Amino acid sequence: MMRVILVVAFLAATVGTAHGQDQPVSFVPFEGTVRSLRGLKTTGDTRIGDIASILLERSSEFAIYSFGREVYASLVEEGRLDKQIGASSSGPGSTTLVSRGSVPALIGVAVENGALYQAVNGSAVTFRLNPAGLARAVAKRSYLLSAAPVNATALEQGLSNLAVSASFDLQKGSSPGTFTGERSQLTEVTARYHAINKRDPRHPAHRVAIQQLSGNLAGTVVVAQSYVDVLRKAAGYDAWRVETAKRLAGIDPGNDRTLRDTLVAIGDEFTRLFAVNPDLQRLSHALVGEIKTYRGTRDATFKAIDRSSVLTFEYAFNRMTIPEAALSTLAADFITPDLSTARVIFSSSLGTVGEATVNGSVTVFNKILAGMDGRLRDVQVSGSLEFKLPEIEGVGRLVLTLAGLGAFLQQQPFGVPVRIKDVETTDGTIGVFQAKVTMPAGASGVKIPLSMTLANRSEFNTGETEVRGAIGLSFDFDTLFARRN
């Protein structure tokens, strides 16, 4: 157990250290300017003209910069929290009682320690990926080109709705407590398909709402245009653009720190020379106001889209774990049958409060052993209510999840009776309640789920009520790549 905790701590520390030592240079609020500069392929006077043009094209970024860090920092937006990276509820070590419908666009990795209703202590590492996104990223040699194209074919669109995952139990294998990726550590493989997902604003159902939202950009556009109109009349502005363009043309746009420092110096100069103009100051205030006003409308539109329902089908292949203490009670040639689970996941919004999710699943044995009564192992029904808690500054929004699960074991959980701690396994009904708090670590993509689970019994322990705690760690690569773009 200690080694497992060390692995989790090491991974957490690694993620933290990676952020601490290799802190990416922030180009806020000049990200658009940087992107345009880095997109230039011209040389000589043409390049100087292009850069001079970019300085005017992106004058709204200079307008925002002229406010100072406090104001523009308050305009920076963080991403949303709504993905399951960890194992499905049936995997050992999972901290998730109810499977959720959403998945990462590319790759997600989760490390979890604890157990749910199976009562087998496990530490699972789950890799969940979107094969279509990964294939595009590999083919185009860039994560940035991994998303489904707008004009995707039906096949491409279909594949984009598919996600697969593999979970590994760190307690198993040749080096218990260490992830080796060997077959003996593999505990679960899943394939998940979004049958209905209208939470993508590109869905045709939202076309009118998106068109109306485009119209709401008019206020921002009018003010940005007025800013340019006044700026162009400012004495010396055109000459400043050309001289500044020559200065920028002399530096390597690929050198983050030099580029950032140069842009900050240029921004300060712009503020001193031009942004002090009362008309431009008034328009800067108006621009920030328009951005905030637009965002209010946009957020309401996106919230309405987020309230759309999601229907997901999942197939899971599971390899069951028999506790070591029980192995001696079994025949030497006993082979635990593998399991196949078909699961339906339905998620729907609870308005502004959070989200409700319902799962239904049927699990069958992949092999019938002597003494078994057919293949059907269990039927499970579960539900969860997820509440977004108020935001904590510097941390993000905590999410509280209350979940319940009813498992109806049609026959012995391992197919045949197994003695664990002198108690024989049986069929029957299991009721589980879980409370979980998921803590984000700022905008790093790291999330830490902490859960407490109460059950009338476990699958493998029929004698007593179970109370268990679990802690996990997940890292969503989508957040990282979306942020660095």
Partner 1 sequence: MRQQLDGDLEVSMGETVTVEIEAADTAFLAHTGAISVGQWSTANRVAPNKEVRTFVVAPTFSTNFSFTIGFDFTHGAGGTIPASALYTIRISGSGPGGHVRQRENGPTSILPSAQSFSFEIGQG
Q: How far is the CB of 306 from partner 1 (least distance, A)?
A: 8
Task: Using the minimum distance from each CB to partner 1, give the nearer residue, 56 or 435.
Answer: 56
Task: Using the minimum distance from each CB to partner 1, give the nearer residue, 318 or 357.
Answer: 357
Q: How far is the CB of 133 from partner 1 (least distance, A)?
A: 9
Peptide bond into 449 cis (omega under 30): no
Inter-residue contact 265 to 259 (CB < 8 Å): no
Q: How far is the CB of 260 from partner 1 (least distance, A)?
A: 14
Task: Using the minimum distance from each CB to partner 1, give the nearer residue, 325 or 350.
Answer: 350
Task: Using the minimum distance from each CB to partner 1, give the nearer residue, 32 or 428.
Answer: 32
Give the DSSP H/E element, type plus range, for residue 446.
Answer: strand 446-455
Q: How far is the CB of 145 from partner 1 (least distance, A)?
A: 5
Q: Determine the Cα–Cα distance for residues 224 and 57; give it in Å rounded to an integer.
A: 10
Helices (H), ranges, 22-165? 31-38, 44-57, 59-65, 69-73, 131-140, 154-160
Q: Determine the Cα–Cα distance for residues 110 and 87; give it in Å rounded to an integer.
A: 8
Q: How far, in whole angstroms, is CA 372 from its chain's centroid?
A: 41
Q: Determine the Cα–Cα distance for residues 41 and 394; give it in Å rounded to an integer.
A: 39
Q: Determine the Cα–Cα distance for residues 360 and 381; give it in Å rounded to an integer.
A: 5
Q: How far is the CB of 217 from partner 1 (least distance, A)?
A: 4
Instruction: Give the pair of three-digit tokens for residue 270.
Output: 């712009």
Pairing mode, strands 107-114 and 122-129:
antiparallel
Q: Please state, as a whole number, how many other Cβ atoms lie within 10 Å of the Cβ of residue 297.
A: 15
Task: Using the minimum distance from each CB to partner 1, give the nearer residue, 64 or 432.
Answer: 64
Contacts 24+ apart (CB under 8 A), 229-233: 230/277, 230/279, 230/280, 230/283, 231/56, 231/59, 231/274, 231/280, 232/56
Inter-residue contact 34 to 263 (CB < 8 Å): yes
Task: Using the minimum distance from each CB to partner 1, give the nearer residue, 146 or 384.
Answer: 146
Instruction: Give the pair of three-digit tokens for residue 197.
Output: 């997902």
Task: Using the minimum distance from each CB to partner 1, give the nearer residue, 50 or 169.
Answer: 50
Q: How far is the CB of 33 from partner 1 (least distance, A)?
A: 10
Q: How far is the CB of 322 from partner 1 (least distance, A)?
A: 37
